[in-house]
Amino acid sequence: MPRKSAQTEEETEIEKIIHLKSNQPNKDESLSHMLAAVLEYISDEEVEEIDFEYILDHTEGLRKWWEQYQENNRKKIEEEIKNSLSELSFEELQKIREQIKEK
């Protein structure tokens, strides 16, 4: 009996590995597709000015990925802002304060 349960555990581990591997190509493929679309747009000689919003709107899945990326890096962004505040003048800080109050 112990052999059978050991085999079952082994099979479960193999199934997990296969499942993880099968998900990875889809993610890589999606990222590759988004990168290719962005590079194609950037390299288009007819495009005079790169429009970031256009890229987000016309590249499938890119806006969702970008929003997730921003949310994941929120803490880092907050820390960068806190660190840069000490370098600002009093007037600049007041302007920021006013902008925050307006929201």
pLDDT digits (tens, 9 = 90+) for 1-60: 444 444 555 555 545 444 444 455 577 888 888 899 888 888 888 888 889 899 999 899
Q: How far is CA 62 from the centre of its chain?
A: 8
Query: So what's the pLDDT on residue 95?
Result: 94
> What predicted TM-score, i.e. pTM, was given to this entire model?
0.47
Q: What are phi and psi of 44, to 5 degrees?
A: -65, 120
Instruction: Give residue 83's pLDDT band: very low, low, confident or very high (50, 70, 90).
Output: very high
Instruction: Give residue 97's pLDDT band: very low, low, confident or very high (50, 70, 90).
Output: very high
Query: So what's the pLDDT on residue 26?
Result: 77
User: Nearest Cα to 81, choosing from 68, 92, 69?
Assistant: 92
Indicate the SS3 state at residue 61.
coil
Query: So what's the pLDDT on residue 9?
Result: 53
Find all residues with CB under 8 Å of 50, minimum gap 6, and list them: 41, 42
User: Nearest Cα to 29, choosing from 60, 72, 50?
Assistant: 60
